[in-house]
Amino acid sequence: MPTQTYVDRDVALDEEGFFTHPEQWTEEMAPKIAQQEGIPELTERHWQVIRFMRSEYFSKGSGPTVRVLGKTSGVPIKELYQLFPKGPAKIAAKIAGIPKPRGCI
Amino acid sequence: MILGGGTGGTLAANRLRRSFPGEELEITVVDGNDSHLYQPGLLFVPFGLAKPGDLIRPRHRQLNAGVAFHQSEIDRVDLDADTVFLADGSALGYDVLVVATGADLLLAETEGLTGPGWGQKVHTFYSLEGAAALATALARFEGGRLVVNMVDLPIKCPVAPLEFAFLADWYFHKRGIRDKVEITYVTSLDGAFTKAICNRELSGLLAEKGIEVVTEFNTGQVEGEAGRLVSYDERVVDFDLAVVVPLHGGASYVGRSPGLGDELGFVPTDEATLQSKARPNVFVIGDASDLRASKAGSVAHFQGDVLVHNIERFLADDVLDASFDGHTNCFIESGFGKALLIDFNYDVEPVSGHFPGRVGLPLLKESRLNHLGKLAFQSIYWHVLLPGRDIPLLDSAMPMAGKRLDSPVAESG
């Protein structure tokens, strides 16, 4: 299991770079992860999505898919793609320090 | 009270009637129409391999004697009052409610999908009318780019769009114009299928058949006349003919029933007991649930005995059995008279080997036998599955014998 150091703390990640232990995440880590994902600066809109991802994860056991995110986060899908161009659900989950959203089968 | 007279609702009603042959239990099935559609047959209609009329039978005729059928659309469920309000004005009280209303196609959720070009250059085979219209369009298609687009999960029968692409390859070969047709499979997923080993196998088949795959394409808009799919991140796929599997949601009354469904209209359900999370006296079977099992008839069938057993236990005030394991079994038609078979559950992804034991149908491998199995299933569906009988050698719990588990097991999608 790979580990990575963000703001002087070791965290456990899966092969794709998602946190396996969301409790290891702190808000200070988010901008660092975002930069790795090609997002130079996190705006308040980014944070709205990141906080929503975490609260969904802790209440439901999985982060939401893009479609659910568009319906429930208060940020429409089009804008989600502007905020997280490489795929909102995946990238926001990475930055929010939660496992890859399960999606469906 | 059973809402929905499709696969799950019908087999649940018939199994319940057999478990409670006396008058202590009154069973009513509610549905908005009396046409039971054999949905697995829709895939074959566009290629002239099935006739629309042969896929439909009356719903009420599939129900055992002693099951009432009430035909009306559903307005809403009042969970606090244990009452279902119907569009025909009646209000029906219940002791136990089974939600079996499946998944609906949400065509309007994708911008432009039903706009100009719909029914001409843009089609779906997920409805009977759609599949029939597509048969005409395919017969007239003389060449160009055919795009098969799975907009986003969850959908019914997640392998069906792939099967459509495989059959299209066969169909154009048969017509002698395969070299004039480009087939492109466009999916919101990051691969052809969500499960790693199966994805590898199916991706190989797609490549072999010369079907191009475009992944992580989240369709935001369909421009039918111009022949363009545009994704939310502004990528474009051009087409001459598009076959779109639209977004799905739960039945519309779920959204009008406070506390029953989630944001997509599916009903949050305990994945092992099939009891809803909304109320202890509400159970869910088939596509209507939010479970991470496939939305497929085989799942509803495997859920049937767990559901009925747990309703018995609920009525007797016993603790429910947490015994549904997510068992799913699907034939994947791959064209040229062959098919693959996959068998999996919540924890074990589709692997190779044989089903149901060390001797049997080959798993995750093309074979003629699997194709014959798929064709034979239509008769089993009407005569064994809907009546709620067990299918020999096909248990609710997924069999492990015959499965090759030495292949590396990757995480599920």
pLDDT of residue B411: 39
Q: What is the ipTM metric for this complex?
A: 0.84
Is A104 part of the annotated catalytic residue set? Answer: yes
Residue B83 to residue A36: CA distance in whole angstroms: 53
Over the stretch B104-140, which tens digit does the pLDDT of each residue have?
999 999 999 999 999 999 999 999 999 999 999 999 9
The shortest CB-CB distance from B232 to any of A14, A72, A81 is to A81
Are residues B111 and B221 in contact, defined by beta-carbon separation less than 8 angstroms? yes
With bands split at pLDDT 50, 70 and 90, how would you rate the model's confidence at B193? confident
Instruction: Identify whether A103 is part of a domain.
Output: no
Tell me how many residue pairs between chain A and chain B have CB atoms under 8 A apart: 49
The average confidence (pLDDT) of chain B is: 95
Kindly list the residues of chain B whose beta carbon comes within 8 Å of any beta carbon in chain A. 152-154, 158, 188-189, 194-195, 216, 218, 220, 232-233, 247, 263-264, 292-294, 328, 411-413
Q: A100: nearest CA in chain B?
A: B413
Nearest CA in chain A to B157: A105
**A65 to chain B, minimum CA–CA distance in Å?**
9
Q: What is the pLDDT of residues B319-359, one digit of tens each?
A: 999 999 999 999 999 999 999 999 999 999 999 999 999 88
Domain assignment present for residue A104? The answer is: no
pLDDT at B260: 98
Q: Does the pLDDT of residue B11 top 70, yes or no?
A: yes
Amino acid B195: pLDDT: 82
Give the closest residue to B93 by CA, choosing from B75, B78, B110: B78
CA gap B103, B251 in Å, rounded? 6
Place B413 in a pLDDT band, splitting at 50, 70 and 90.
Answer: very low
Q: Which residues of chain A have pLDDT under 50?
A: 104-105
Angle between helices A88-95 and A29-36 (to 10 degrees): 140
Separation CA B42–CA B49 (nearest Å): 10
Total domain count, chain A = 1
Does domain B2-105+250-315 fall under CATH 3.40.190.10? My reply is no
Give the pLDDT of residue B409.
45
- Judge whether A101 lies within some domain: no
Q: Is B370 helix (H, G, I), strand (E, B) or coil?
A: helix
Query: pLDDT digit string (tens) for B18-41?
Result: 999 988 999 999 999 999 999 999
**CATH 3.50.50.60 domain span(s) along chain B:** 2-105+250-315, 108-248
Task: Give me the phi and psi of B151, to 5 degrees please.
Answer: -65, -55
Residue B407: band (very low, low, confident or very high) from pLDDT cuts 50, 70, 90: low
Three-class SS of residue A62?
coil
Quick check: B232 and A102 CB within 8 A? no
Chain B residues with CB under 8 Å of A66 CB are: 152, 188, 218, 232
CB contact under 8 A, A85 and B216: no
- For residue A100, being part of any structural domain is answered with no
**Which amino acid, one-letter code, is at B316?**
A
Q: Is the pLDDT of residue B310 over 80?
A: yes
Query: What pLDDT sits at residue A7?
Result: 85
Q: State residue B394's pLDDT score.
A: 80
Range of the domain at A86: 3-95
Q: Does domain B108-248 have CATH number 3.40.710.10?
A: no
pTM of the model: 0.93
Which DSSP symbol is given to A45?
A: H
